[in-house]
Amino acid sequence: MPRALLPLLGTDDEVVAFFTEIADLDATDPSSHELEDGVCLASGARLEQFARAGSGDAFCFVGEGGEERTVVYVSLDGEAGPLGLGLAELVRLCLVAPWWRDAPGRTAEELRAVADEYREDLPDLDQRRDRAAQALGLDPAGLPSEAAALARLVELSRGPVAAACLVIGYEGDPLDPLFDATPSHP
Cβ neighbourhood burial of 118 (10 Å; 0-12, 13-18, 19+)? middle
Distance CA(56)–CA(53), nearest Å, equals 5
pLDDT at 154: 84
Which one is predicted more confidently, 121 or 105?
Answer: 121
**186 confidence band (pLDDT: 50, 70, 90):** very low
- Residue with the larger pLDDT of the pair 16 and 103: 16
Question: How does residue 83 score in pLDDT terms, banded at 50, 70 and 90?
Answer: very high
* pLDDT computed for residue 118 by the predictor: 87
Per-residue pLDDT at 48 exceeds 80: yes
- DSSP of 25-85: -B-S-GGG--PPTT-EETT---EEEEEE-TTS-EEEEESSSSTTSEEEEE-TTSEEEEEEE
User: Model-level pTM?
Assistant: 0.90
Query: What is the arrangement of strands in the sheet containing 79-85, beginning at the earlier edge strand?
Result: 47-52, 58-62, 70-74, 79-85, 176-177
User: Residue 125: pLDDT above 60?
Assistant: yes
How much is the pLDDT for 3? 65
- pLDDT tens digits along 1-20: 356 899 999 999 999 999 99
Average pLDDT, the chain: 89
